[in-house]
Structure formats: C-alpha cells, structure tokens
Amino acid sequence: DVSILEAYERLILDIIRGDQQHFVRRDELKTGWEIFTPLLHMMNKGEVKSIPYKQRSPGPAEADQLLKKAGYMQAHGCIGYLLHCKWYKT
C-alpha cells in the first residue's frame, strides 16, 4: 500500500523535516527582485520588449543565442527545457 502525498502536504512535510531544497532563501528572493524589477520598469516604459514563445517550449531561440554570445556552449544531445540543459563556458 503506497501513499502519495499531495503537493502542499509534501512541502509541509519537507518543512517539518527541515528539508529546504524546494524553497528559495530570503536573500535569493531579494536579489532576484533587485535584478528583475528594473527590467519590469524598462518593459513598462517600452525600452525593452519581451520575446514571446510557445508555452511548454524550450523558450525563444534568442535565449540560446544570448548564452552563445556570452561564450557558453550547450552540451551535446541536450533535449528539453533550456534551464535543464547543461551549458559550459567555452
């Protein structure tokens, strides 16, 4: 007999056990907003445009181009979402 926990039950159990791997630390969250908030303001002013892409896709091709331009190379045979692929500094 196997018991499968619901999503929130699993998170609450993780908290009780002290397992924080599925949670963002406060400093990470703060830094993320410090980086992203100016970008949101720029987008609202029309200074930066967003690049649309299909839901559940690996993302826009421009994301790959940006990483390549920054000197990264994608691992051979990478399939799936961009963030799940490995990129190596060339």
The β-bridge partners of 6 are none
pLDDT at 11: 87
Please state, in angstroms and rounded to a whole number, the distance separating the CA atoms of residues 50 and 90. 28
CA angle 51, 25, 21 (to 5 degrees): 90
User: What is the C-alpha to C-alpha distance for residues 23 and 12, in angstroms, rounded to an integer?
Assistant: 11
pLDDT digits (tens, 9 = 90+) for 37-72: 999 999 999 999 889 998 888 788 888 888 888 887
pLDDT band, residue 86 (cuts 50/70/90): low
pLDDT digits (tens, 9 = 90+) for 8-27: 888 889 989 999 888 889 99
Segments making up each domain of the chain, as ranges? 1-50, 54-90
pLDDT for the residue 37: 96
Q: What is the value of pTM for the model shown?
A: 0.49
pLDDT given for residue 58 in this prediction? 74
